[in-house]
Chains A and B, each alone.
Chain A
Amino acid sequence: MKSEEEISRRRGEVSGAVTYEWLTQAEAARFHKDPDNFKPLRASSLVGQQQQRLSDEREGLFSVIDEFNLWRSKPELAEAVAAIKALTAVIQRSEATTMMGLEIDLKKASEALKAWDETSISLSAGCDLFMRYVTRTSALEYEDIVAGKARLIERGEKFGEISLKARQTIALLGKDFVQDGSTILTHGCSRVVLALLKLAASNGKHFHVICTEGRPKNSGVEMANQLLSAKIPVSLIIDSAIAYTMEKVDMVLVGADGVVESGGIINMIGTYQAALVAHSMSKPVYVAAESYKFARMYPLDQRDLPLAPCYVHFPGALPESVIAEVSTRDYTPPKYLTLLFTDLGVLTPSAVSDELIQLYL
């Protein structure tokens, strides 16, 4: 067994080096530029982390949720990645002297994270995925905890890196599906879809995007704004006009909150309806989703989903006795989906389960 001092020293080494390297890679992936361009951000984030760490150490406690929120506050960072970052930080701080102990620490942290936001699929998927990596690593039975930890942290960082690159990969893979002169219907606001469309536009494709309004959060409006700022022609429709518009649509492109084991997706409410209409009019439905959104869930119907309620504003005065449906997402079964653009490649819905089984089992 190594001495406590040595371990802490090593840990410092490891975390310092890896954090720097990870940030370099992550930012490079984000901006597709050389690492020098984001010095300020790196510095600030490091400073922020350091401060956080210092304060935690002073208080003698460390909150994985704070860490998670810290990471999540970064605009381009998805929830799952933030969760993995937070868990990686847990490893770095863990005082456990055995891999088993470390695993228990991590498990606690991930449970806490999941409990913090039970409705988020990508959060729990991210936690699960990382836990899976950890258990797989500890299955390798490292001789000493230090090597094991280093390995885990490396994995965590690598994961963050992969996840950040994922959006670019998806945009690259998916842009060829956007045809010149086509009309694309999109529902909700998805960063992946946005990246894909932007890339397609910057590649000289001329296409028209129809955004739905996206009630109740009006996310479609935000999407339309973003598309307009990228000089992509957009028209906005109300959610109930999907079927009316479908005949001039060439393809439906949506993002996903989560991709479930059956190959179906969970996404903003109304996606199911859009997919149904598209299916009945034989229009392809494409989904752009990063692989960390793959979740080990298998909803059989809409009621099987964990409820994610949200305040819905109904104009006009409503009597108290009216029951308002407040769910904000629905499940689209795989048979209505054509293809999924993921960073693992362009997959059919049935291939999702293949990937999930390989990831988790």
Chain B
Amino acid sequence: METRRGARMVIDPKVRQVGFVTPGSELGRPAAPEPPGAAAPVPVVANSPSPVIIPLLLIPDTSSLRTTPLPVPSPPSRRVVAAPPADDSMPLGSYNPSDAILGSSQGSSERTGNNDKHGSAPTDSLADMSLSNASTLAIRLEGLNVTNDGISNVLSTSTVRSAVAAAPTSVEHAFQTSSGQGIIGSVPAVSVDMAAAANPQADPRPMPLKDRTSKAERRAIQEAQRAAKAAAKGVGTDIAAIADGNVANEVKSSKPSSQKKGLSEKKPAVFSDKKPVVSSDKKPVVSSDKKSAEKASEKDKRKDIPAPRMQFDDEQRVAKAKRRSLIEQTEAKNRVELFRHLPQFLHGTQLPSLESKFFHEDPLHPHPSVFQVGLQYLTREIVGGNARCIAMLMAFRDMINDYSTPMEKTLVRDLTAKINSHVSFLITCRPISISMGNAIKFLKTRIASLPVTVSEFEAKHSLILEIDRFIQEKIVFADNEIVKHAVTKIRDGDVLLTHGSSCVVEMILVRAFELGKKFQVVVIDSRPRLEGKGLLRRLLGKGLHCTYTHINAASYAMQGVTRVFLGAASVLSNGTVYSRVGTACVAMVAHALGVPVMICCETYKFHERVQLDSICSNELGDPDALVEVHGRKDVYSLRGWADSKHLHVLNLMYDATPADYVSMIITELGMVPPTSVPVILREYRKVPYVM
């Protein structure tokens, strides 16, 4: 990111902030090497010959003037030393003001003083983790050798076991969290490396409760910009092209992500001499044009393809979703600007409401199995892509087993709707992974393709068979095949490195060990979940020779490593590997040192999407997990951070590894280069995933 931005700076300093910049950081964002003294921003900006003419309806007012400092580059030192006046942040605040409504709704008051309660949670979580791993592994392993009826027992047995096992820990944990929910609450925010966090000016006060510029307004602005661009063609320089191109692109996407929204609004600030920021003070001006624009936007909305994902900075949608949602959850307060489009709820707020509803006799109530799985997701009792997917499918299997079509309804439609509601329930527990999405898609396709004439019993039976087959073929057998392929790449004397805890990689290592290959394993782990510990424990139990280190030491540990094996949550069609956070770092280090990086991933986790960064789609973990250091009660410098307006803690769950760093992807279909992911998607999704 840094280099990318740097490159842009070279092209033109004015474009530099188009990238992923948190509004807070923008203030102090160091850019072109201008002397600190050059901070007198207004004249500079006024002189800059922006080709984009100001749309007439956006008359620059004081707020625009206030924003003008933005484009002026300042050296890094200035960020710390010379903090801009507090009101500078105002226009930035308008960036996404409406979110503050949700953000400040509640939970802020309880947060104080509760922090200590949370202390024990991480301690438990490790125990939980191992438990969960054991139980999930049990699910997987049992799945290995069972047939249809065997599988049906898998979940029941394993869940019983996990329930029993988890009773002392997780339930307790649950209560604990429920009592201390306020603190566990996630108010994720910009991590320290996002320079903004350090800048006290980033967010001097909570977002003011003002109307955020609606879609229509933004559209109006963009329309105007486009017109301006058309007028200014010919004169237009590269910047214009780039800038407007960006704007246009964003307009096209029916539901721009928050970041995009931010961009399109920020852009005026970037080219600030012409395009004033649309902040609330300007609202009347815009609203004059609102009606017509709204009409147009309505039309466009229908025309455009539906948004792929829920964007959590879309106020209306969030409200709608909230109404439908079974779980009451509280949005986090100090949300990270860059990740506003992702759900950021206070962790722990969901559990009590769920628990209270457990014995409800509500027709809309989720099936007990699904409910249970949801709870297990919530408490992180089931983690790992395969385990989560299998658990979900088994729960749906139970649900289908108990399903009976209501009067005057058809099975196909009603069951699909039912699955949809269950899925949205699961999403509220924890955002579903891409692999689960694929599995759901598969199931829905199967339901939709049921012949109308088939009886309910037969339909249910065939669906259950399909689910079993999916688990067997796509997960269990696939893993076996991957292990077979991967083992051929392990030679005697190898030093293998892995990151986190991937069940496939574990199977590979164990299998290679069983085959008598002589090799060493380096387990790289990362905070806060320290999943590598579980892997390490199991490997050591098998008698493997292991080295354990944290990701900070990756570049050192990489020396002497001959192969890197990594798991993946998903592989996207441009070869990008979407995986547990830290994977990209490990892959990059390996690439730099010329160590081949092998990604082990079942093809059911492949996805057609293209993703270039880890921002547009990700999952945010509990920020408190970063604050607490396991086993170090004396480290408490960040306690009570939630009350600080200036600190955002960001706990990302996934990251995207560019295909350049990946030597090969090991799938059940063989070893393929990352460039072949679209081929596999094309060749294999034809049959099972016909929509």
Contact flags (1/0) for B669-683 with A, using CB distance below 8 Å?
111110110011001
What residue of chain B has the Cβ atom nearest to residue A335's Cβ? B660
With the chains together, A300 CA to B669 CA distance in Å? 18
In the assembled complex, B423 has its CB within 8 A of some CB on chain A:
no
Cβ contacts A317-361/B at 8 Å (1 or 0 each) = 000000000000000001000000000000000100110011011
Instruction: Out of A261, A263, A334, A358, name the residue touching B683 (CB < 8 Å).
Output: A358
* Residue of A300, A303, A304 with most chain B CB atoms under a 10 A cut-off: A300
User: Closest residue to B676 on the A side, CB-wise?
Assistant: A353
A354 touches B664 (CB 8 A): no
**Is A298 part of the contact surface with B, judged by Cβ < 8 Å?**
yes
Pairwise interchain contact A357-B683, C-beta atoms closer than 8 A: yes
Q: Are B673 and A300 in contact (CB under 8 A)?
A: no
Complex contact B675–A300 (CB within 8 A): no
Tell whether B609 is near chain A: CB-to-CB under 8 Å. no
In the complex, A357→B670 CA distance in Å? 9
The distance in angstroms between the C-alpha atoms of A350 and B676, with both chains bound, is: 7
Interface residues of A in 277-312 (CB under 8 A from B): 296, 298, 300-301, 303-304
**B599: min CB distance to chain A, Å:** 13
A358 lies within 8 A of B679 (CB): yes
* Chain A residues, CB < 8 A from B671: 261, 298
Pick from B489, B669, B673, B683: contact of A262, CB below 8 A. B673
The answer to whether B491 has its CB under 8 Å from any CB of chain A is yes
Task: Take A298-B664, A300-B663, A300-B664 as given contacts and tell me if A361 and B670 are in contact as well, using a CB distance cutoff of 8 Å.
Answer: yes
Task: Tell me which residues across on chain B come within 8 A of A303, comparing CB atoms.
Answer: 491
Q: Which residues of B contact A361 (CB under 8 A)?
A: 669-670, 683-684
Question: Given the complex, which residues of A lie within 8 Å of B491, measured CB to CB?
Answer: 303
Give A54 Cβ to nearest chain B Cβ, in Å: 42
In the bound complex, CA of A249 to CA of B596 (Å): 32
A262 cross-chain contacts in B, Cβ below 8 A: 664, 673
**Docked complex Cα distance between A303 and B491 (Å):** 10
B684: A residues at CB distance < 8 A = 361
CB distance from B680 to the nearest CB of A (A): 6
Q: Contacts A263-B673, A350-B673 given; indicate if A300 touches B489 (C-beta within 8 A).
A: yes
- Decide: B675 and A353 in contact? CB cutoff 8 A: yes
CB-CB under 8 A for A350 and B489, given A300-B596, A301-B596, A357-B683: no
Contact mask for chain B residues 558-570; partner A; CB cutoff 8 A; 1 contact, 0 none? 0000010000000
CA distance A304 to B563 in the complex (A): 12
B673, A261: Cβ atoms closer than 8 Å: yes
B489, A353: Cβ atoms under 8 Å?
no
Q: Mark B438-469, 1 if CB is under 8 A from A, else 0.
A: 00000000000000000000000000000000
- Chain A 48-71: CB-based contact to B (< 8 A → 1; otherwise 0): 000000000000000000000000
Least CB distance, B628 to chain A, in whole angstroms: 40
Residues of B within 8 A of A301 (CB): 596
Query: Do the beta carbons of B673 and A357 come within 8 Å of each other?
Result: no
Q: How far is the CB of B672 from chain A (nearest CB, A)?
A: 6
Interface hits, B648-691 → A, CB 8 Å: 663-664, 669-673, 675-676, 679-680, 683-684
Instruction: Provide the residues of chain B in CB contact with A298, threshold 8 Å.
Output: 664, 670-673
| A357-B679 contact given A261-B671, A261-B673, CB 8 Å threshold | yes
Chain A residues in 8 Å Cβ range of B663: 300
Distance, CA A262 to CA B669, complexed state (A): 14
Chain A contacts of B676 at CB under 8 A? 261, 350, 353-354, 357
CB distance from B677 to the nearest CB of A (A): 10
* Measured CA separation A300–B671 after assembly (Å): 11
CA distance A304 to B489 in the complex (A): 8
Question: How long is the Cα–Cα vector from A100 to B515 in the complex, in angstroms?
Answer: 31
- Tally chain B residues at the interface, Cβ within 8 Å: 18
Q: Considering the chains assembled together, what is the distance between the CA atoms of A304 and B680 in angstroms?
A: 24
A300 to B485, CA, bound (A): 13
The residues in B between 305 and 334 inclusive whose CB is less than 8 angstroms from any CB of A are none
B60 CB to nearest A CB, Å: 50
CB pair A296–B596 under 8 Å, yes or no, is no
Give A296 to B671 CA distance when docked, in angstroms: 9
How far apart are A324's CB and chain B's nearest CB, in angstroms? Answer: 22
**Chain A residues, Cβ within 8 Å of B675:** 263, 350, 353
Rounded to whole angstroms, the CA-CA distance of A360 and B563 in the bound complex is 27
Within 8 A of A (CB), among B139-179: none
Evaluate contact between B679 and A353: CB separation under 8 angstroms: yes
**Separation of A350 and B674 alpha carbons in the complex (Å):** 9
**What chain A residues lie within 8 Å of B672 (beta carbons)?**
261, 298, 353, 357
Q: How far is the CA of A348 from the CA of B491 in the complex (A)?
A: 30
Note all chain B residues with C-beta closer than 8 A to A360: 670
In angstroms, how far is the closest chain B Cβ from the Cβ of A103? 20
Q: How far is the CA of A298 from the CA of B489 in the complex (A)?
A: 9
CA distance A140 to B664 in the complex (A): 32
Closest to A301 in B: B596
B596 with A357: CB separation less than 8 A: no
Query: What does the 1/0 interface line of B466-498 toward A look like (CB < 8 Å)?
Result: 000000000000000000000001010000000
A358 to B673, CA, bound (A): 14
How far apart sit A296 and B676, CA to CA, in the bound complex (Å)?
13
Residues A241-271 near B (CB distance < 8 A): 261-263
Closest to A333 in B: B663
Q: Specify which chain B residues have a CB less than 8 angstroms from the CB of A263 in the assembled complex.
A: 673, 675
Tell me the smallest distance from the CB of B563 to a CB of chain A, in Å.
8
The distance in angstroms between the C-alpha atoms of A360 and B671, with both chains bound, is 12
Q: How far is the CA of A357 from the CA of B680 in the complex (A)?
A: 8
Residues on the A chain within 8 Å of B563, using CB: 300
Which of chain A's residues have a CB closer than 8 A to the CB of B596?
A: 300-301
Chain B residues, Cβ within 8 Å of A261: 670-673, 676
Nearest-neighbour CB distance to chain B for A350, whole angstroms, equals 4
In angstroms, Cα B185 to Cα A304, docked, is 50
A354 CA to B489 CA, complexed, in Å: 22
* Chain A residues whose CB sits within 8 angstroms of the CB of B680 once the complex forms: 357
CB distance from A333 to the nearest CB of B (A): 9
For B664, list chain A residues within 8 Å (CB). Answer: 262, 298, 300
How far apart are the CA atoms of A254 and B44 in the complex, in Å? 58
In the complex, which of the residues A296, A298, A358 has the most CB atoms of chain B within 10 Å of its own CB atom? A298
Say which residue of A296, A304, A353 sits within 8 Å of B673 (CB atoms).
A353
CB-CB nearest in chain A for B491: A303
B414 CB to nearest chain A CB (Å): 37
Which residues in B have their C-beta under 8 angstroms from that of A353? Answer: 672-673, 675-676, 679
Within 8 A of A (CB), among B596-611: 596, 598
The CA-CA distance from A350 to B659 in the complex, in Å, is 12
Residue among B489, B596, B598, B673 with most chain A CB within 10 A: B673
Most buried by A among B563, B663, B664, B675: B675
User: For B673, what are the chain A residues with a Cβ–Cβ distance below 8 Å?
Assistant: 261-263, 298, 334, 350, 353
A60 and B341 CA atoms in complex are apart in Å by 75
Q: Which of B563, B598, B676, B684 has the most CB of A within 10 A?
A: B676
Q: What separation, in Å, do the CA atoms of A303 and B684 have in the docked complex?
A: 32
* Cα A361 to Cα B684 with chains together (Å): 9
Contact with A along B587-623 (1 / 0, CB 8 A): 0000000001010000000000000000000000000
CB distance from A98 to the nearest CB of B (A): 26
Q: In the complex the two chains form, what is the Cα distance from A353 to B676 in whole Å?
A: 6
Task: Identify the closest chain B residue to A354 (Cβ).
Answer: B679
Residues of A within 8 A of B (CB): 261-263, 296, 298, 300-301, 303-304, 334, 350, 353-354, 357-358, 360-361
- Extra inter-chain contacts (5) besides given A262-B664, A300-B663, A358-B683, CB under 8 Å: A263-B675, A350-B673, A353-B676, A357-B669, A361-B683
Can you list 28 A-B pairs, Cβ within 8 angstroms, ordered by A? Answer: A261-B670, A261-B672, A261-B673, A263-B673, A263-B675, A296-B670, A298-B673, A300-B489, A300-B596, A300-B598, A300-B663, A300-B664, A301-B596, A334-B673, A350-B676, A353-B672, A353-B675, A353-B676, A354-B676, A354-B679, A357-B670, A357-B679, A357-B680, A357-B683, A360-B670, A361-B669, A361-B670, A361-B683
Closest 10 pairs between A and B when the two form their complex, measured CB to CB: A350-B675, A353-B676, A298-B671, A300-B596, A354-B679, A262-B673, A357-B679, A353-B673, A361-B669, A353-B672
